[in-house]
Amino acid sequence: GGGGGGGAELEALRAEVETLELALAEKESLLVSLRASSSAPASGSAQREKELVSAAGAASASASLIDPRAPGDIAREIERARSEAASLRDELERRDEELKSRAEREATLAAAEAALKLRVTDLSRQMKDASSGYDAELARVGAELSSLQSMLTQREEVFESMQQRLNEAQAAESARRNAEISEARSEMSDMQALLEKMAADLQAKSDVERELRDARESLAATAALEEAKDALEKETVALRRTLSERERGIDDAMENIKELRARLRAASSLAGLPPPAGTLTGLTRAMFKDAFGDAADADDDEMTDLVNASVSIAARLDAALVSRERDLANAKPGSVLEARLMSEVAAIERQTREVREMESAAEASEADLRDAEAAFAAAEANYLDRIEDLEGDLDDALAAAAAAEKREEERGDVVDADAATVEALEARLAERDAQLAASTAAFESAKKRLQDELAAERVARRDEVATLRAEREGVEARFASLRASIEREEEDAAR
């Protein structure tokens, strides 16, 4: 458009210059004719005169319309016309230069426009190729998201089944512990009955001591008889020997009582019921810690790690959701990027809900474990009170036996023991020893069974925690891979 307007202006200028040149030529011809009419030239060729004459004849038609003037005026007018023609020629040359430069610029612009069109065509082709690749990548990411969603669904089912197994295991463990507690109560009742029997035996021993005092008085009366002195001395020696043997039997019975006390403490420790104070309390608490404390602490630590990992995963998902929502707000409405970000936001929200549900399930499991531990602690307090009562009764019985032994040692007299009564006491002690051996064997069997069950439960819990950790690591790895893939796609789209 600019080139066409400049060409028309140049043509008009050229036409004006030509018109002025024609007018100048006419005026020159008129001047020549006037000079020829005033005076004939002294020199010049005939041909030049003919040309002037013909020029004058050609301009005669126009000269008839012009008034005659002085030759000086005509010369000045011719000079003015020539100067005007020269200025017009200069203007024409300047316009030609401008036209040439404009033509060169238009050629350069045309070449640039052609190169730009080629570049636009190339970019269009590249955009088409990139769009096809981006669509394929979006399809692949969609497939991965679908696969991840199915895997999360499967994992949720696995968590539900695992939770059910944990509930069943806890119910079975509660039933088993209740049965063991009932069994321990029955054994404690048997031990209490045995202690009552021991108290009765101690009472019988007191009766025997009274009978021995009576026998000693009779021996003193008999010793007054001089005629039976030697025989009585021999009998006294025999009685002292018999008494020593009976004292050793009583010492053995006291050792059995002490052993029974030690076994009672061991049985209390095995049942998980710590005694109130003293060595028995420390020993029972140490055994209870060895049997339960480390495993319970390990299980609590593993359950706490699972909840934190879920919280950590949920926090990272929340951060990713905030980032995607910010990118979605900045995306162009109706663009492919907006659609992709919307799908990503929906997927991340779905994953966040699933992780929150997993976190709630883990917290519920931890709460159930805390409730079970609280119930066990309450039962432990009850059994501790029961052990305190039993130990008090046992201490009273032992104190009575020790007082009886001290009184017997202080007397230092010869005692004539009734052989039948002592034999009956020894028979009862042997029977109690057999009962104590049976109770000890039962305690050892229960202890071994409890330790085996605790070891199996510890292994099962560790396996379940390891499985949960492996699943969590797999989900985190897939999430990291998906996030890296999305970031690469965004970088490719930005480039």
pLDDT band (50, 70, 90) for residue 278? very low
pLDDT for res 372: 53
Instruction: List, for residues 180-226, the tens digit of each pLDDT value.
Output: 778 867 877 777 777 788 778 778 777 877 877 776 676 565 555 55
The two tokens of residue 279 are: 């060595």
Q: What mean pLDDT value characterizes the chain?
A: 66
Residues 232-256: what's their mean pLDDT? 62
Residues 13-21: what's their mean pLDDT? 73
Q: End-to-end alpha-carbon separation of the chain, Å?
A: 38
pLDDT for res 409: 63
- CB count within 10 Å of CB 313 equals 21
Any idea what the Cα angle at residue 436 is, between residues 435 and 441, rounded to 5°? 100
The two tokens of residue 308 are: 């934190």
Any idea what the Cα angle at residue 269 is, between residues 263 and 271, rounded to 5°? 105
pLDDT for res 208: 74
pLDDT for res 312: 56
Per-residue pLDDT at 65 exceeds 60: no
Q: How many residues does the chain have?
A: 495
The two tokens of residue 433 are: 């020893």
- CB count within 10 Å of CB 86 equals 10
Higher pLDDT: 220 or 406? It is 406
Instruction: List, for residues 347-404, the tens digit of each pLDDT value.
Output: 878 877 776 776 676 566 566 556 655 655 565 565 456 556 555 555 665 566 566 6
- In DSSP notation, 153-188 reads HHHHHHHHHHHHHHHHHHHHHHHHHHHHHHHHHHHH
Instruction: List, for residues 139-153, the tens digit of each pLDDT value.
Output: 776 677 777 778 777
Per-residue pLDDT at 253 exceeds 50: yes
Per-residue pLDDT at 447 exceeds 50: yes
Contacts of 232 (CB under 8 A, 6+ apart): 219, 222, 223, 225
The two tokens of residue 412 are: 């230092």
Determine whether 340 is exposed, middle or buried from the number of CB atoms within 10 Å of its CB (0-12, 13-18, 19+): buried
